[in-house]
Structures are given as structure tokens and as C-alpha cells.
């Protein structure tokens, strides 16, 4: 199938391209400065402490990681499920997935503390820890997607695209399921401790990744002055709407399950009613801006490029809100050390732990976003991954 497609590099004037890289270099440089600042003075200069150990950088990082797995869905629809309408943009889908993952992993590594000793953690794996197994999951995903991208673009290897795509698809499921279970198996945190995190994160991944991919595609089309056909808009509208609906379904199911189980009802009440900023972000950010409003835009009979782009941007905003509620809210909620027993001490027992992210944390996270954008921009200029035509129905392009 790929033999009938012609791929090309990103066009446009060189001066405009270098201006784009210079613009992206600003948040990238600020992220590097933030990293060295935190590395020099220690995490004491951040809002994190021994209760909130995953701060704002992890909100960016985990969003990028799960969006990376979801961004591959377009390529998998073409190569695994034979949806040939998505075949022209399959290489771009793989590229966006790789770039997002690298950006997310960079933030995780730089936020870990003593990042100079990270090689020790990578070479001495504790296979009984799902956190340690993430190294294997990340490496396998990157390798399988890179191999898939190579086979797509190298005509001599086109015959092997489907087997490699199946491998990438299975590793995609493994990575996002493992990421969800990092929270679901964390029984020490009442907000976590639910196997629903696995399917819920698969739905989140699909929605966030598809939204980010469509935004990248629209940016590329805008850069080159390309039009997007009504049929392409309809396909992406339906795909994104399905994933948003699945995300909303699992979110409601998760909250309902927490509320119906007597041992976790207090968690649901915290998230839904009395969690302060976390309740506001849940209702206004994740559910309102990130789910209900995009669905309202997508359920209209006709969708325009502007409305679809707005829906994608809203999904991304809701994704950051969801990550903040999950990561920060899950740690801020007090742990139950001795069920059925009231314990008191001077260390915030039974209290919602305060957390205010510092500017350096935000800049480090934004630097990860900028790194992903720079990788996409450089790769698009250096590699022929953009289709000459977006619609394969236009006929053979060989």
C-alpha cells in the first residue's frame, strides 16, 4: 500500500523555518536553565517535599507519555486494522509518537534528582517493581515505532510493515496499561488503588494523542498552505469523538466505583465536592473543557477545521487538568496508615497536603513540550514523512 504514496519533507522558506526553530528554542532554553537551577540548589527550591514527590514536571511528563502512545493510533488504524484512509499520515503519526515520548522522558529524567546517576537505575533493574520495568517498556516502544517508521518509508521493507505494526501496537498497549497500573497498583494512596486506571488511561491516551496529532497535522497544513478535505475532517472528528466518549465513560465509572465502595467513598467526596482546586480542575478542566465542550463541538452535523482544532486544543487542556488532579491530588490526599484507627502527629495527619508549583517546575515541563516540538520540526525538514496528498482516494501518487 505504501508503494502508491509519495512522501516529502516539510516545505516553506528557510528563513521562516529558522525563525520557527529560534522561537521554539526560547522555552527549550528556559527549561534547561530551570533544570540546572533545580539541580544546583536541590528540590528544596520547588514546591515538592516528601509528601508531594511528583510535582508539576511529572504532570507534563506523564501527559506527554500517554499522549505519545495515543498519537500512534492513527498509524495503527492504517497498518494493523487496514483503515487505508489513514495511510498517508501514518509516518507522521509515528513521528509525533516518538517526539512526544522523548519529550516526556526528558522531563522525567531531569526531574528525578541526581540525574547524573540515572544510568545506574537503567542498568540495575528491579524486575519486581513496575516503576523499574518502565525502562523496558519505553525502550521497546521507541524501538518498535522507529522500526515501523523505517519500514514505512523504505520501499524495500514495505512488505514487513504489517508484522512490525502489530508489534508496535502490542507494545503500545503494554506501555499505556503499565502506565495506568503504576497508579492502580499504588494501594498506599486512596485516590489510586483501582484496576480501572488501566482501561481509563488507554482511553485518555487515545483522546489526548489523537488531539495532539490533529493539532500537529493542522499546523503542518497551515505552514504549507494545504487544505484539509471535508472527508478528512469527518474522519478525525468521529475518531476523536469516540475517544472522548470513552474517556468520559471511564472517568464517570471510576468516580462512581469510588463512591459506591464504602472504603473509598471519602475519596470520591474529596474529588467531587470538597477537594478545593482539585475539585475545580476536575469539573471545569477535565470534565467541562476537556470532555463535554469538545463533544458539543464534535457532535454538530458539520465540523470545520477551526472547530475541530478548538476541540483538540480543549482536549489537551483537559488532559493537563486531569493529570494535575490525578498526580498532585492523589498525593495531596492523606494516606490511611492504620485503617479503622485514628492517628495523630505533627506531620499533616488527616490533612490535605498543600502544594504550589514553582516557576522552575513549570519551565522544566514547558521545556519538555518544546523539545517534542523541536524534534518534530527538525524531523519534518530532514525526513520525507509528509504525504504529497492527504487523501488516498485521489488516486495513485507514485
pLDDT digits (tens, 9 = 90+) for 224-282: 988 888 899 999 999 999 999 999 999 999 999 999 988 889 999 999 999 999 999 99
State the pLDDT at residue 64: 97
Indicate the burial class of 144 (C-beta count within 10 angstroms; 0-12, 13-18, 19 or more).
buried
Identify whether the C-beta of residue 308 lies closer than 8 Å to the C-beta of residue 237: yes
Three-state SS string across 258-306, please?
HHHCHHHHHHHHHHHCCCCHHHHHHHHHHHHHHHHHHHHHHCCCCCCHH
Q: What is the spatial distance between Cα 91 and Cα 75, in angstroms, rounded to a whole number? A: 7
Question: What is the pLDDT, as a whole number, of residue 312?
Answer: 97
Q: What is the pLDDT of residues 300-314, one digit of tens each?
A: 888 899 999 999 999
| Ranges of H-type helices in 154-264 | 161-184, 197-224, 230-260
pLDDT per residue as tens digits for the range 92-142: 999 999 999 999 999 998 988 777 777 777 777 777 776 777 788 899 999
Which percentage of the chain shows pLDDT scores above 90?
69
Q: Cβ of 195: how many Cβ atoms within 10 Å? A: 12
- Domains delineated in the chain: 8-335+350-390 (1.20.1630.10)
Does pLDDT of 3 surpass 70?
Answer: no
| Distance between CA atoms of residues 238 and 311, nearest Å | 12
Q: Which stretch of 24-28, 72-76, 107-111, 290-294 has the lowest confidence by average pLDDT?
A: 107-111
Give the chain's mean pLDDT. 90
Query: Are 130 and 57 spatial neighbours (Cβ–Cβ below 8 Å)?
Result: no
Element (H, E) at 74: helix 73-79
Q: Alpha-carbon distance 55 to 53, whole Å?
A: 6
How far apart (Å, rounded) are the C-alpha atoms in residues 85 and 94? 16
Which has more confidence, 116 or 55? 55
In this prediction, residues 77-102 reach a mean pLDDT of 94
What are the helix and strand counts (H, E) for the chain? 15, 2
CA atoms within 13 A on the CB side of 208: 27
What distance in Å separates the CA atoms of residue 198 and residue 366, rounded to the nearest whole number? 27
Angle at 387 between CA 385 and CA 388, to 5 degrees: 130
Calculate the alpha carbon distances from 113 to 121, 159, 213 in Å: 12, 45, 31
Question: Are residues 237 and 98 in contact, defined by beta-carbon separation less than 8 angstroms?
Answer: no
Better-predicted residue by pLDDT, 48 or 6: 48
Please give the residue that has the higher pLDDT: either 169 or 345: 169
For residues 73, 139, 167 and 157, what is the CA-based torsion angle, rounded to 10 degrees?
100
Give pLDDT, residue 2.
46
Q: pTM for this structure?
A: 0.92
Amino acid at each position: 500500500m505504501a508503494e502508491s504514496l509519495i512522501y516529502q519533507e516539510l516545505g516553506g522558506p528557510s528563513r521562516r523555518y529558522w525563525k520557527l526553530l529560534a522561537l521554539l528554542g526560547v522555552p527549550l532554553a528556559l527549561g534547561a536553565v530551570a533544570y540546572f537551577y533545580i539541580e544546583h540548589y536541590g528540590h528544596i527550591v520547588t514546591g515538592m517535599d516528601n509528601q508531594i514527590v511528583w510535582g508539576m514536571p511529572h504532570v507534563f511528563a506523564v501527559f506527554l507519555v500517554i499522549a505519545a502512545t495515543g498519537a500512534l493510533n492513527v498509524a495503527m488504524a492504517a497498518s494493523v486494522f487496514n483503515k487505508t484512509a489513514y495511510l498517508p499520515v501514518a509516518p507522521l503519526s509515528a513521528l509525533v509518537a516518538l517526539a512526544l515520548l522523548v519529550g516526556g522522558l526528558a522531563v522525567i529524567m531531569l526531574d528525578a534528582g541526581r540525574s547524573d546517576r540515572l544510568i545506574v537505575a537503567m542498568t540495575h533493574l528491579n524486575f519486581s517493581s513496575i516503576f523499574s520495568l518502565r525502562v523496558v517498556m519505553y525502550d521497546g516502544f521507541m524501538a518498535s515505532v522507529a522500526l515501523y517508521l523505517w519500514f514505512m518509508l523504505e520501499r524495500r521493507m514495505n512488505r514487513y510493515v504489517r508484522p512490525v505494526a502489530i508489534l508496535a501496537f502490542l507494545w503500545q498497549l503494554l506501555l499505556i496499561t503499565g502506565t495506568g497500573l503504576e497508579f492502580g497498583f499504588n494501594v498506599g494512596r486512596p485516590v489510586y488503588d483501582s484496576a480501572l486506571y488501566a482501561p481509563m488511561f488507554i482511553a485518555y491516551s487515545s483522546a489526548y494523542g489523537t488531539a495532539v496529532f490533529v493539532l500537529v497535522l493542522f499546523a503542518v497544513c497551515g505552514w504549507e498552505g494545504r487544505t484539509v478535505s471535508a472527508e478528512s475532517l469527518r474522519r478525525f472528528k468521529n475518531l476523536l469523538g469516540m475517544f472522548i466518549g470513552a474517556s468520559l465513560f471511564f472517568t464517570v465509572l471510576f468516580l462512581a466505583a469510588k463512591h459506591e465502595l464504602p472504603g473509598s467513598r471519602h475519596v470520591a467526596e474529596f474529588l467531587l465536592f470538597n477537594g478545593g482546586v482539585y475539585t475545580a480542575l476536575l469539573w471545569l478542566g477535565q470534565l467541562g473543557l476537556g470532555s463535554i465542550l469538545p463533544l458539543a463541538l464534535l457532535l454538530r452535523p458539520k465540523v470545520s477545521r477551526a472547530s475541530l482544532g478548538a476541540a483538540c486544543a480543549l482536549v489537551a487542556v483537559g488532559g493537563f487538568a486531569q493529570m494535575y488532579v490525578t498526580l498532585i491530588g492523589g498525593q495531596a490526599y492523606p494516606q490511611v496508615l492504620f485503617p479503622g484507627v485514628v492517628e495523630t502527629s505533627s506531620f499533616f495527619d488527616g490533612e490535605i497536603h498543600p502544594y504550589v508549583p514553582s516557576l522552575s517546575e513549570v519551565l522544566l515541563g514547558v521545556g519538555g513540550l518544546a523539545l517534542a516540538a523541536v524534534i518534530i520540526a527538525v524531523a519534518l525538514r530532514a525526513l520525507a514523512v509528509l504525504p504529497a496528498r492527504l487523501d488516498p482516494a485521489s488516486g495513485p501518487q507514485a
